[in-house]
Chain A
């Protein structure tokens, strides 16, 4: 009987932990914003001397 109660206790504690993790485990933050967004990135070409493959070896 004692063993049975211990098993029940362990299972209930484990269930509580799993429940917390399932509820709070998502990293998908529930945040909304009215500002900001993503648009296609258009690079600004600098005056880099290595704009193209050059034989540097």
Chain B
């Protein structure tokens, strides 16, 4: 049995994906019971039962997906100590660092904690893993994201532009002001080219955990001039219930046949759709015992990356690779 905490845009997509893939019974909990009820009403079918439950009932499940706003570390620790595996969709750097520190707890309880199982991080790690087979060795990964999912994601995007970006650079963590380092990134259609900036993203932390050999890892988000100008202020307008089409772009650099080689792969879809699909596929993987115990990130050598990747593609996520430029 799988539980989901959070009945927002992301939580609803996770539940939909689980039900669509034959999960017979799903528990949903949200601090707003009306939101949980809405997800239950929308997703329940004759063959699949979705129930809105109290948080204590989630301790009786096998896996819980944390699809609520961060922080997840405290909830993850309690669930692990109760013998429940956890899939976290957190994209907050401090929260992700705390989650990665729960390895000892997860191993002691012989449970799995998957950190950053959404679009960014999550799908980004899967793409780095898949692309690495086209190289002899990889040493750089650069992630760029456009768009947000629900209101909590939009607030996280706003916060990310007001703090300090973190990146892995030649064996050291490099901190730079968020909103700096403009780079024109090409996303798959219909998003196209967007100006992207450094931001406090969890991708470098998660990718460094999964791919220790990488020497450079960066993360950027698309932003308008207005986003950067108002980043240090409270959000002036309430965030959208759900953002429009977003996109993820992962650029991997390395060596192939003794020459420098670059591959770029991306996906354009609603961010909640990307994140929910990855989270649901990961939760199913954990539920059937596909992951070893301890803290895992998508893309690392001990995770069933190919199976999750196949499940994501089967769910309708269209991945695109950038072609046409032959030299780096």
Residues on A lying within 8 angstroms of B by beta carbon are: 21, 24-29, 31, 35-41, 43-46, 48, 50-57
- List the B side residues contacting A45 at CB < 8 Å: 133, 306
- Residues of A contacting B112 in the complex (Cβ-Cβ under 8 angstroms): 57
| Neighbouring B residues of A52 by C-beta, 8 Å | 304, 306-307
Q: Which residues of A contact B324 (CB under 8 A)?
A: 35-37
For the residues of B in contact with A, the DSSP-based class is mixed
A31–B288 contact, CB under 8 A?
A: no
Bound-state CA distance A31–B186 (Å) is: 10
Question: Which of B74-82, B149-157, B162-170, B187-195 lies at the interface?
Answer: B187-195
**B residues contacting the other copy or chain, number (CB 8 A):** 46
CA gap between A25 and B227 in the complex, in Å: 8
On whether the beta carbons of A29 and B321 are closer than 8 Å, the reply is: no
B266 at the interface (CB under 8 A from A): yes
* A40 and B319 form a contact (CB under 8 A): yes
Whether B132 sits at the interface, judged by CB under 8 Å, is yes
Count of A-B contacts judged by CB separation below 8 Å: 102
29 A-B contact pairs sorted by A residue (CB < 8 Å): A25-B224, A27-B194, A27-B195, A27-B227, A36-B322, A37-B322, A37-B323, A37-B324, A38-B189, A38-B320, A39-B321, A40-B319, A41-B265, A45-B133, A48-B301, A50-B302, A50-B303, A50-B304, A50-B305, A50-B306, A51-B304, A53-B285, A53-B289, A55-B288, A56-B289, A56-B290, A56-B292, A57-B291, A57-B293
Shortest distance from the beta carbon of B149 to any chain A beta carbon, whole Å:
18
Indicate if the CB atoms of A50 and B323 lie closer than 8 Å. no
Q: Which residues does chain A contribute within 8 Å of B195, judged by CB atoms?
A: 27, 29
- B309 at the binding interface (Cβ < 8 Å): yes
Q: What A residues does B285 contact at CB under 8 A? A: 53
> Any chain A CB within 8 A of the CB of B229?
yes
Chain B proximity of A12: nearest CB distance (Å): 19
B-side contacts of A48, CB under 8 Å: 133, 301, 305-306
In the complex, are the beta carbons of B320 and A57 less than 8 A apart?
A: no
From 289 to 328 in chain B, residues with beta carbon under 8 angstroms from any chain A beta carbon are 289-293, 301-307, 309, 318-325
- B188–chain A nearest beta-carbon distance, Å: 5
- Is B235 part of the binding interface, using a Cβ–Cβ cutoff of 8 Å? no
B225 within 8 Å of A (CB atoms): yes
The residue of chain B having its C-beta at the shortest distance from the C-beta of A18 within the complex is: B226
